[in-house]
Amino acid sequence: MNEKKLVYLFEEGDKQMKDLLGGKGANLAEMSRLGLPVPPGFIITTEACIDYYREGRVITEHLKEKVDEALANLEEKMGRKLGDPEKPLLLSVRSGAVVSMPGMMDTVLNLGLNEETVEGLAKMVGDRRFALDCYRRLIQMYGDVVLKVEGSKFEHIIEEEKEKKGINLDVELDEEALELLIEKFKNVIEEEIGEQFPHDPREQLFMAIRAVFDSWHTPRAQTYRKAHNIADDLGTAVNVQTMVFGNQGNESGTGVIFTRSPSTGENEIYGEYLLNAQGEDVVAGIRTPESIGLLQEAMPHLYDNLVELCRKLENHYQEMQDIEFTIEGGKLYLLQTRSGKRASAAAVKIAVDMVREGIIDEEEAVRRVKPENLEQLLHRQIDPSAKIEAVAVGLPASPGAACGEVVFDADSAAEAGEEGRRVILVRTETTPDDIHGMIAAEGVLTSRGGMTSHAAVVARGMGKPCVSGCEALRIDEGQNKFEVNGHKVSRGDIITINGSSGEVILGEVPMKDPEIGGDFQDILNWADRFRTLKVRANADTPEDARQAIELGAEGIGLCRTEHMFFSSDRLPVVQEMILADKEEERKAALEKLLPYQREDFKGIFKEMAGYPVTIRLLDPPLHEFLPDRDNLLAELYDLRQRSKKYTSHNPFENNVHAESEDLQQQKIEENLKSKEKLWEKVDSMHEFNPMLGQRGCRLGLVYPEIYQMQVRAILEAGAELVQENMNPQDIQPEIMIPLVGHEEELRIMKELVLQVVEEVKKDKDIDLPFLVGTMIELPRACLAAEEISNYADFFSFGTNDLTQTTFGFSRDDAEGKFLPYYLEQGILPQNPFMQIDQEGVGKLVQIAVEKSRAQKPAIKLGICGEHGGDPESIHFFHNVGLEYVSCSPFRIPIARLAAAQSTFK
């Protein structure tokens, strides 16, 4: 059996071996293969790291043997030996993850120095101060990274010595000062860990390798991986490389250079450097670096060489590069190259420019731009250069940043909006009654609710920033104030919220406006050519529909008719319909609602001319349109107390005063009687679990007149538009029956729809194309898809509710309570309300797709839950064969890009 290779010399690898050698190691190997000036070295593989953890964090004797072999090869190449007091070989030991994690793991430089080898180095280079400086640096970095001595203890000693000498910079420390620092550093280590700094260079090497392996599981590395969806089981490689010295006088230096601007994407060299310094001086901010352009004046020949290497590497990798370099005694060395991190606007510009320059093709450009790049470009963001301090962090429910005065109720937000004032609506949680305030507000902040709460879903649909479930907030709406972690915030105070990160910040912070230009549109146009999955919008108003078309929607996948009922002129009529005791009274109220619905649909059909419009008939329980049960009970109690007060007045008091009180008493009694009737209705509709109660098609079955009115409004809207000379083929309603779990439910509902269709056809003498389908949001519907499809022209998967009913989770309770724990403990890999649960919910979707297509091959299949705007979920929907996804208008560009990238996977 072939023994797996755990250590590779640079010349034995190449850029294709990233999974084994890590990104840094693979690129060092590739640059070596290209003949570029790379200090020689070797790479300990990611498999060795995985073995290290498997063995209980032990470096095996076998691995030590292979490292010693590679080290002997390196010593022979360099003509120097690790630990040789005359000609010492010094090493750097660096991490190298498969996926770049800048600054997250550990590095040790100048390894191999001790009391003897430092003098040998001094003789080799003819500069004892330089050798002492390297030794000082090794003890400081090794003490911090490997021995876990707090780095500030070393910094404090350096600052004391500089102050004593009356100097400002580390480079001004003389030999005497450096010798003193070395002794003090060693003493600190012995005091802190009870052991001496290791004298043996080989011991230094293996302890440094262990420290790099250990840094894979530091909290900062784990947090970074979680934030960037990097797997925990990849491990890190270790790169052991011959040291080159940027701190060897003014003919030496170190720096970082990007082949294009990481901020703007402009095709120009961008970077910084320091003379007489090592890499950590730049990273730690010990000295202020110079712009790379000044290197052209200081060392013109070397600068030209560096620019030439930049172009060579960019053309070779066909990607913008981030390159670390060191200059030693006037000679240039490359220590690393990798794909450069870049701002979102830069990512788009670089991809498009590289197509125009012939470096990559359009498909590769579409691959390169990440969906989150587009998301950031679509929303206002906090300026990345701004220094901020969050007082609390909630859930990042809707991206973008907003700043404004705090208000605690929707009416105040609406009033402020009319006056042109910017406000943040702060609520314990929002309800449909708050919609006018949410429209007026710059952003929304709630102390309860999850990523798919009312506030989150509505804000995302509007493209407004929202932070939900910020449980640190203690809101007192009665007093118009909240407290958070010791801070008191009152109505009118300014706060900033970051819906992309969940941060809540006191005061106003600098913002950056969205950056959408021609390059952005080019990427989307190219994406449209590659994708097969259509992208629709969740839109409830003509304004939403218009915006969706502008952003590239190919129809409406979900029009929620209940959102049309909450405006102030309609809600009373809806309540009149709900409170009606007799069917005739209910129908009379529905007749009043019919013109409103008809006009709504006319506006949407006009905007969506030529595109399908999926209209979901009334879904939520009727009690959602009535006053809150607990608030109503409190009002009743108050009225009854006031009624008792007037009933007990003195009959011998002044007659005029008595008559006035009688009138007041009469008004209270009338109001009390009205509220009691309302209470009886609200109480009778109370459900212990409304999500699984009388809603969706169950409403249509019990109160068929509601669905009859809505279907009539849809068809009459189309008929009127035809009479106004709109082409009938441009009106494409898809009537969706919600919450069907049994084929009989859909059969009865479809008969109702067809009955109304015949009536309208007869009344208007117009035959419009239409489809009838259902929203699949119950596990039983997925399992019985074959039978249900007999009565459906289309299925639209409502994955929000399907996730709830499959897991048995209440989404608001889950996200506000135990779901964060589930994610932290790895019980679930992702929030299933943000990214489709492929193993459970996804399998139900797949079953429904296969069963329905087997029964009815022509059935149209799509998805209209929030997952329709999530890139990973979109890849899944593409793979299971859906025809379209539907998402909020502001996520349409993201969905278009993700749908194209799905075809490449």
**φ, ψ for residue 604, nearest 5 deg:** -70, -45
Neighbours of 829 (CB within 10 A): 14
Is 379 one of the catalytic residues?
A: no
Helix axes 871-880, 841-855, angle to 10 degrees: 30
Give residue 266's Cα distance to chain centre. 26
Taking alpha carbons only, the member of 546, 344, 379, 553 closest to residue 459 is 379
Asked if residues 556 and 536 have their Cβ atoms less than 8 Å apart, the reply is: yes
Contacts of 630 (CB under 8 A, 6+ apart): none
Residue-by-residue DSSP string for 422-470: -EEEEESS--GGGHHHHHHSSEEEESS--TTSHHHHHHHHHT--EEE--
Report the largest interatomic distance among the alpha carbons of the chain, rounded to a whole angstrom. Answer: 119
- Name residue, tokens 């498009």: 352
Phi-psi map region of 697: left, alpha, beta (phi>0 left; psi -120 to 50 alpha): alpha
Return the closest-CA partner of residue 447 out of 405, 485, 415, 400.
485
Task: List the one residue out of 770, 771, 772, 766 whose CA is nearest residue 726.
Answer: 766
| 427, β-bridge pairs | 446
First vs last C-alpha separation in the chain:
34
Q: In what order do the strands lie in the sheet with 331-339?
A: 290-291, 270-275, 253-258, 321-328, 331-339
421's CB contacts (< 8 A; 6+ apart) are 404, 405
Spatial distance between the Cα atoms of 550 and 539, rounded to a whole number of angstroms: 13
Question: What gap in Å lies between CA 166 and CA 161, rounded to an integer?
Answer: 8
Tokens at 693, concatenated: 């109660």
* Residue in the block written with tokens 């290779």: 5
Cα dihedral: 462, 468, 473, 474 (round 10) = 80
Catalytic residue among 454, 563, 623, 878: 454
CA distance 891 to 868: 9
Distance (Å) of CA 277 to CA 41, 169, 273: 22, 11, 9
How far apart, in whole angstroms, are the C-alpha atoms of residue 838 and residue 826? 16
Q: In 3D, which of 617, 565, 554 has the Cα closest to residue 589?
A: 565
| Residue 436, CB-side half-sphere exposure with 13 Å CA sphere | 15
Place of tokens 């003389």: 174
> CB of 393 within 8 A of CB of 504?
yes
Q: Tokens standing for 354?
A: 């590289």
Query: One of 466, 697, 864, 887 is an active-site residue; which one?
Result: 864
**Is 310 a known active-site residue?**
no
Cα separation, 666 vs 791, in Å, equals 56
Going by the DSSP 8-state scheme, the letter that residue 88 receives in this structure is B
Calpha distance 127→108 (Å, rounded): 22
Q: How far apart are CA 545 and CA 537, in angstroms?
A: 8
Single-letter residue type at 462: M
- The radius of gyration of the chain's CA atoms, rounded to the nearest angstrom, is 34
DSSP 246: T
Strand partners, 239: 43, 94
List residues with catalytic annotation.
454, 864
